[in-house]
Every structure is written in C-alpha cells, then in structure tokens.
Structure 1
C-alpha cells in the first residue's frame, strides 16, 4: 500500500519535473541521434570526467540521505533532487556553456513554479504564528512537542508526515503538538537557539516543553557543544521523547481533573 501511495505521489508535477531535470543529461547522452545532434559528437559514451562526476554524485546522495534519516522512496528522492540537479548543471556547463545556461534557467524556474508539495494528510498539529505566539502557548501547564522547521529543508519536509502521524496518535488536551517555520519567523529560531542557515545542522529541531520550560530537544549537543546526529523516524521520536509515558501521564491527569471537577459540581 505504501509503495502504491509513493508511486501515485510521483505523478505530481513537482516530482515529474525534478525527475526529468535530474535524468536529463544521462538520458540525452545515451540516446543515439539525439546525443549526436545535441553534443555534436559521434561518441555517445560517458567520458572520464563525466563518469567521475556521476560517481561522486552517487556517493554524496547515499551519504546525505543517510544523514537526513530518509526512510521511504519519496524521502530519498526529495533528499537527492538538489544534488542530482547541481550535478546535471555541472555536466551541461562542461559539455556546452550555452546548454548549461538553459539548464540553469530551467532549474530556477522549476524551483519557483513547481515547489515541493506540503504534507496534506490528517494531523493534530498547531502552527504558531511568530515567537510571541509560541512562547505564550508553551508557558502554560500543557506539555508541548514543538518542531522548528523551514519549508525549503528536505529533512523538514520528510519529517512532516511522521510528526503528523504522531500528533494524531498522541495528542490530548494537555499534550499538544506544534510547529513553527523559523524561515518565516526567524525571531523564534533566535530565542530558542535554532539556526535557520542553509548550512544549519539543526533543521529540523524538536523541543519538548513542560510548564513553559524546555525539557529536552533533538538534535541535542554533547558536552563539547557538538550536535549529535539524530534520525527523525517515528520509533526514534517515540523513544527520544518518551511519548508513550507522556501520553499515559497526560491521560491520568485528564482523568483526575475530570473526577475533581465532577465532585465540585456535585
């Protein structure tokens, strides 16, 4: 069922456009006739430099997707598109700077006109509109699990369905799930020490708040201040934040409060 769902998602414009852009050089280079015309050559085999670039690309994709914790076909594709397109840009410029310019324009237009689709499935997540909104909400007695993210980061995009699924399973009146886009509200990132830089290793960051205080976060820093890698899978999140215990505690508190209110009403 999951594979079928992923295959259907590949029919969306974002994935179709990016797959075409990612495979453009390899496909055109290997089609006789088209290759001869485009590259003005009799040889449609990959040259030494081209092979080196493609091999290096493969290594980068494998390493980066492992770091982002990608666990599905769609996640792997989303994580790899930027690297495959940059590699294609280099290959096209290496072959012909004019074709490189054309590809660069298509690269930019694709990013602007066909953005990655946001997760639209069921969720029980509250989206904060700024640092003051976030601070006000987490200051009460409710336990909050808040994801700090940016819309352009692949790992943040991959986290969305996982975080949404957890919210539908664990959210209660006194255990809530929230998200804030620190690309849009950078002041929230500054207050809670989450960098929104394009080179940031803190995206996404999930923080557990209880009674207005930060209890723990992932990724977290070690004693030397170096970030410890964290895979944002469903099971890892459950274990890291003790979601099962949080849920049971929140349920007991709700039940006790209901009993107390019932006695007062009598």
Structure 2
C-alpha cells in the first residue's frame, strides 16, 4: 500500500475521530477557550510533572510496540499509537475528574460500535474458523495445505495484514491449497491450543502458520536460537518470499493435475 493510499484512508471518519480522541487531553490543555472550560485557568497551557510522565511513558510504549510490530504500514503505526494514547487519555481524564473519564470511555465505546474500523472489501478466498474447529478441517482433508492467520480484531498489525492476506488468498487458493483465519481474541482457547499469546503486549500478533498433514510445519514470527521471537514484517513481498508461495503453489497445482489425470485414466479404463 502506497503512502498516497494511506493518506486517502486517513480521511475515513474512524481514523479522524481516533486521532482527535488521542489528542483530546493535549488539545484541552493548550487550546484557549476549551482549556478554561475544562480546567482551572491556572492549569491551562502547561502540563504537570505527573501528566508529562504519563505521556512520556506512552511514547516509550508506542516506540517499543512499533519497533516490534510486524508491519511497516503507516496506518498500522497510527492505529497502534492511537490505541495506547487513548489508554493514557483515560488515565489523565480520570485524574482530572472521574466524570470526564467516564464520558471519555463512553465516547470510545460509541466510536468503536458506531463507526468501526474500515475493513477490506476486495476479493478474497479466506475461510474463517470458529476456534479449534480448524482441527476438524485438518483431519477431514489431510491432503490440503493450509495457511492460517491467527489474529485479533483490536490489533493494528492484524488489521494491516488483512488486505494482504486476502489478496494472497485470491491469487494462490487451490483445491489443495487453502487460506483460513482464526480470531483468537474471540476464541482464546484456540490461541492456547496453538500456543499463541493474545495479550496486548504479545509479539505473536498476527501469526501465520502453515499446516500440512494435520501438523504445523512453519510459522511467522518464529523463535530464534535464543528462544526469542524474531521480528517479521508482514508485507506482501516478505510473505511470498518467506513461505516460498510461488513454488508451493506450483507444487500443489502439479499434484492436483496428477490426481485429476489418474482419475481420468481410471474412468477411461472402466
């Protein structure tokens, strides 16, 4: 996705409101008229030591999370920053007045339910599984190779991967090569079953796993020699190269053609 496309998406009400909510406390502190209405006049135009420490802590967390993020997408960075900024705003508004804090949380809930993050609407051939129902599918069709994304709806990195994974599914899906997704935020048992941490500080969101003959044969991100998760950038080119998708597709297609050829020979012999 280009920078121009990212900027176009930023015009969407979801991102506009998200940015405004992230800056709400600072705007209220420094904009004349608004500040005098919300805070005592003596507190306008400057942050207290405690407020500065909260915001500094937020910046450290955002920098850490974006550095560890598996995406180089600008929207993913903005969404990650906004998520932690809103957490800090909740703390700051509650410290100012519990009523402000409650109102701010209500605005977040309304924003999430009414507007909602824009979703990918392009072509895709992705099967969405409910929890560990994937196990049943793997056992049912052992000759199929599965690419499975484990994700959560609230993770910016997972949202950034969604259109990429959908595009790849539309390009590479075959009868014996399929793509699926599991929301481990909604189905935490699936996360535990496949050993994927779904917490806010998890370095495993998102995770792409490859299953062959009912067994997981590969995943990204994966552990290094020191048992630490290696950083993986979920760009389209990285996914293609890391999983060798082109060769995998050709091998699956070849096996499919051989299978169909044998069936035709069998029919002719009869």
TM-score tier after normalising by the smaller chain length: 0.7 to 0.9
Map of 2:9 onto structure 1: 9
Map of 2:127 onto structure 1: 126
Map of 1:263 onto structure 2: 265
- Per-residue CA shift, 1:7-59, capped at 9, x if unaligned? 44334332232122112122232322322332231674333534444444333
Structure-1 separation of matches of 2:137 and 2:197: 21
| Structure 1 residues 189 and 32: alpha-carbon distance in aligned structure 2, compared to 1, 3 A threshold | closer
Structure-1 separation of matches of 2:187 and 2:56: 39
Q: Is the 8 A contact 2:70 2:231 kept in 1?
A: no
Root mean square deviation, CA, Å: 2.7
TM alignment of 1:1-266, pairs within 5 A: 2-41=2-41, 44-47=44-47, 49=49, 50-132=51-133, 134-139=134-139, 140-223=142-225, 225-266=227-268
Q: Is the 8 A contact 1:67 1:231 kept in 2?
A: no
Give the superposition deviation at 1:178: 0.8
When the two structures are superposed, what TM-score results if normalisation uses the length of structure 1?
0.85
Which blocks of at least 5 consecutive residues in structure 1 are unaligned? Answer: none
| SS of 2:36 mapped into structure 1 | helix
Structure-2 separation of matches of 1:101 and 1:180: 33
Structure-1 separation of matches of 2:68 and 2:189: 27
Q: Is the 8 A contact 1:145 1:207 kept in 2?
A: yes
Give the superposition deviation at 1:224: 5.1
Which stretch shows the higher mean deviation, 32-41 or 174-183? 32-41
Which stretch shows the higher mean deviation, 211-220 or 184-193? 184-193
Structure-1 separation of matches of 2:259 and 2:9: 44
Structure-1 separation of matches of 2:94 and 2:234: 36
Which runs of 4 or more aligned residues in structure 1 lie more than 6 Å from their structure 2 counterparts after TM superposition? none
Which stretch shows the higher mean deviation, 154-163 or 28-37? 28-37
| SS of 1:106 mapped into structure 2 | helix
When the two structures are superposed, what TM-score results if normalisation uses the length of structure 2?
0.84
| Structure 1 residues 216 and 44: alpha-carbon distance in aligned structure 2, compared to 1, 3 A threshold | same
| SS of 1:148 mapped into structure 2 | strand
Which blocks of at least 5 consecutive residues in structure 2 are unaligned? Answer: none
Structure-1 separation of matches of 2:95 and 2:262: 74
| Structure 1 residues 19 and 254: alpha-carbon distance in aligned structure 2, compared to 1, 3 A threshold | same
| SS of 1:216 mapped into structure 2 | strand
Structure-2 separation of matches of 1:43 and 1:192: 51
